[in-house]
A and B are shown apart, each in its own frame.
Chain A
Amino acid sequence: MDPKFAEYAHPEALVDTDWLAEHLGDANLVVVESDEDVLLYDTGHIPGAVKVDWHTDLNDPVTRDYVDGERFAQICGERGIARDTTVVFYGDKNNWWACYALWVFSLFGHPDVRILDGGRAKWIAEGRELTTEVPEPAPVEYPVVERDDSTIRAFKDDVLAHLGKPLVDVRSPGEYSGELLHMPDYPQEGAVRGGHIPGAASVPWARAAAEDGTFKPRAELEAIYLEEQGLEPDDEVIAYCRIGERSSHTWFVLTHLLGFPKVRNYDGSWTEWGNSVRVPIVQGPERGSVS
């Protein structure tokens, strides 16, 4: 394993490409590809990997929510994932969706979930094998587990009650300040107000990633989140973005790489907050505060 992993709070939450290449086909290991693009897996994927799509698999088709325990059990079971299976997630876009899928698996308390550091891009850059052959795993039993929405997930009311405590806005600076909603003539990206939640620090998710899409070493992450932003490991932190995908990346960094025990992801994020009546909003580059 990459020696930098040992510095992280939970080194077991990561694997590197060498390790994965050696362990492909291991009993009780399932590799899951999760991408922004629903067809990318089908153009070629790591041999033996199965697809979990964030939208069509993990979201409830009607209510804006995640699937329930029964559906989750079905999604896992038909992919050969049992409760004690090691699940390694990887994907496009610096593992955004891989982190998102890992976070949803964590809502159901799946015990052994890991990220392939560097994701799909690194695997391909290293010239490793891809296949279009879709595996047909033998279905296994996965227990129906009730989703825990109270520990690592935040709802709008939780955020309102949290105001004054640390929030991390991981969107781009333009989205944070509110400028990006002012695109004349074109449909808006789903929010009627621009800006950020009062007091939120602006730390775009990408700052945690190196050029090759791998996570930065622990010391560099601490320089950003602890020294520069003043977060303390014991802080209760809520991260958000537009729909909760980029903030899953930051949730993973704070929780598993830096070892913050009390981090929640606000999946309603800006598409909920920026459309809600009478919630406080700050525009411009300053954090602002709750008056």
Chain B
Amino acid sequence: MSLPEALQELVDDFSGVGPKDRLQLLLELSQELPELPERYADAAETMEQVHECQSPLFLAVEVEPAGDQLVHLFFSAPPEAPTTRGFAAIMHIGLDGQPAQTVLEVPDAFYTALGLGQAVSPLRLRGMAAMLARIKNQVRRAVAGQQSPA
């Protein structure tokens, strides 16, 4: 099973450098996480909290009803949580705009290939695993909802 191209590029970027530079890369990504669009900015309660992250992270998933059912991801995490923001940015860059089926086929343990275990600690990486699991759950629910008759 291959990864979506954008996600594979990130994996290549991370695995191509040493542990210290991986942290630096994660920091840069954390600064690129897009702001929430207005419809979520004042409606945090409509987003799902990823409790497994050490710092508060909120997540929203939208799936286009037609065509390839493209997935759109929205994240909210405070600036004091750069690691969590970095994980969210990896998800955003790697998965936003991909077809639902492609997102569902991403291996649950893909993040081990980023090589962040040593630099970040395996404990902290659990947040990333949980983020992907919750994204997939929401995508599954959205797809199922779109298939059932109105």
Binding site for B on A (CB under 8 A): 36-40, 42-43, 53, 55-56, 59, 61, 92, 183, 185-187, 189
Q: Which of B8-16, B38-46, B59-67, B78-86 contacts A (4 or more CB under 8 A)?
A: B78-86
Bound-state Cα–Cα, A288 to B13, Å:
53
* Nearest CB of A to B121, in Å: 4
Contact A42 B27 (CB under 8 A): yes
Are A189 and B52 also in contact (CB < 8 A) when A37-B81, A38-B83, A56-B118 are? yes
When A and B form their complex, which 8 residue pairs have the shortest distance between CB atoms, in order from nearest? A55-B121, A39-B82, A39-B83, A37-B83, A39-B27, A42-B27, A43-B82, A38-B120
Are A183 and B80 also in contact (CB < 8 A) when A55-B121, A55-B124 are? no
**Beyond A36-B54, A56-B121, 18 extra complex contacts between A and B, CB < 8 Å:** A37-B54, A37-B81, A37-B82, A38-B119, A38-B124, A39-B27, A39-B82, A40-B83, A42-B82, A43-B82, A53-B121, A56-B118, A61-B118, A186-B51, A187-B52, A187-B129, A187-B133, A189-B52
13 A–B contacts, CB within 8 A, in A order? A36-B55, A37-B81, A38-B83, A38-B121, A39-B26, A39-B82, A40-B83, A42-B24, A55-B123, A56-B121, A59-B121, A183-B51, A186-B130
Bound-state Cα–Cα, A42 to B84, Å:
14
Name B122's closest neighbour in chain A (CB-CB): A55
Bound-state Cα–Cα, A211 to B12, Å:
44
Q: Which residues of B contact A187 (CB under 8 A)?
A: 52, 126, 129-130, 133
Interface members, chain B 50-109 (any A CB < 8 Å): 51-52, 54-55, 79-84, 86
Are A37 and B80 also in contact (CB < 8 A) when A42-B23, A55-B123, A189-B52 are? yes
Binding site for A on B (CB under 8 A): 23-24, 26-27, 30, 51-52, 54-55, 79-84, 86, 118-121, 123-124, 126, 129-130, 133, 137
Are A39 and B123 also in contact (CB < 8 A) when A187-B52, A187-B130 are? no
Name B123's closest neighbour in chain A (CB-CB): A55
CB contact between A39 and one of B23, B51, B129, B133 (< 8 Å): that residue: B23
* Nearest CB of A to B127, in Å: 11
Dominant secondary structure at the B interface: helix
Contact A40 B130 (CB under 8 A): no
Q: Which residues of A contact B51 (CB under 8 A)?
A: 183, 186
Bound-state Cα–Cα, A185 to B24, Å:
34
CB contact between A40 and one of B80, B123, B126, B129 (< 8 Å): that residue: B80
Contact A43 B54 (CB under 8 A): no
Most buried by B among A37, A43, A59: A37
Bound-state Cα–Cα, A189 to B124, Å:
12
Contact A40 B82 (CB under 8 A): yes
* Nearest CB of A to B12, in Å: 21
* Nearest CB of A to B148, in Å: 20
Q: Which residues of B contact A53 (CB under 8 A)?
A: 121
* Nearest CB of A to B103, in Å: 19
Bound-state Cα–Cα, A189 to B127, Å:
11
CB contact between A43 and one of B79, B118, B119, B121 (< 8 Å): that residue: B79
Contact A39 B80 (CB under 8 A): no
Q: Which residues of B contact A189 (CB under 8 A)?
A: 52
Bound-state Cα–Cα, A61 to B144, Å:
43
Are A37 and B27 also in contact (CB < 8 A) when A56-B119, A56-B121, A186-B130 are? no
Name B137's closest neighbour in chain A (CB-CB): A185
Bound-state Cα–Cα, A122 to B10, Å:
36
Bound-state Cα–Cα, A34 to B24, Å:
18
Q: Which residues of B contact A55 (CB under 8 A)?
A: 121, 123-124
Most buried by B among A36, A38, A55: A38
